Amino acid sequence: MVGVVGLQVLDFISHSVAQTRRLGTRLGQLLRPGDVILLAGEFGAGKTCLTQGIAQGLGITRRVTSPSFTLVNEYPGGRLPLYHIDLYRVTGVQEVLDLGLDEYFYGAGVSVVEWPGQALAALPPEHLLIELSVIGKTKRELHITAVGSRYDDLVDRLLAQASGSESLPPGELPREVFRCSQI
Ligand SMILES: Nc1ncnc2c1ncn2[C@@H]1O[C@H](COP(=O)(O)OP(=O)(O)O)[C@@H](O)[C@H]1O
Ligand SMILES: [Mg+2]
């Protein structure tokens, strides 16, 4: 993995659907063409919820739903196109290679991949990995790892933005109630 200089990590606890979405929105605002985000975690961990936030941050107005049955959902119309990929039903590296996803990964948009675990070797070696875990009814842990210098930079910008004036004061209620549904 030439060029991988660091594994910057960031841990985030989300106490609500709105918070998970808001993190996604912040991330979506920072993404650049060709960025690849891998979302790992069990069912209900919040992968699709986070993706809905990312879409919002990219300025996509269409509702993002789970692509489990379609494999890839494309969302044009925002600042950058979003490719939402779900590998739950795909087993093994070769099967993923056969899908020919490189046009997405190395294209003009942003790729968000749910269930990357089985096929890491077929996915871009540099990526932002977000591992989500359920730690309570409405509490989720998001462990973010930057794999590659490009993503170190993304995490730096995410941190800078979160500590800047755009962050909400503690306890401020979200202006909008978000719902994240399974499908
Ligand atoms: N803090 C939270 N962040 C994200 N989702 C949450 C949170 N608390 C509860 N939930 C619920 O967990 C579920 C997450 O679903 P979804 O995003 O589809 O998960 P996944 O794509 O990982 O299977 C939703 O039903 C959502 O309402
Ligand atoms: Mg999902």
Two tokens at 93? 């590296």
As a whole number, the mean pLDDT across the chain is 87
Please name which ligand lies nearest the alpha carbon of 22: 1
Q: Provide, rounded to the nearest whole percent, the portion of the chain with pLDDT above 70.
A: 84
Query: Is the pTM above the cut of 0.95?
Result: no
Two tokens at 8? 């910057």
CATH fold, domain 15-123, is Rossmann fold (3.40.50)
The pLDDT of residue 179: 47
* Cα–Cα distance, 158 to 25 (Å, whole number): 11
Lining ligand 1 with CB less than 6 A are: 14, 16-17, 19-20, 41, 43-49, 66, 138, 140, 180, 182
Task: Count how many residues are written for the chain.
Answer: 183
Which of 51, 66, 143, 180 to probe ligand 1 with, by most ligand atoms within 8 A of CB? 180
- Helix or strand or coil: residue 157? helix
Using CA positions, which residue lies closest to atom 6 of ligand 1?
17
pLDDT digits 0-9 by tens, 151-160: 999 999 998 8
Q: Is the pLDDT of residue 19 over 80?
A: yes
Using CA positions, which residue lies closest to atom 18 of ligand 1?
182
* Cα–Cα distance, 72 to 84 (Å, whole number): 6
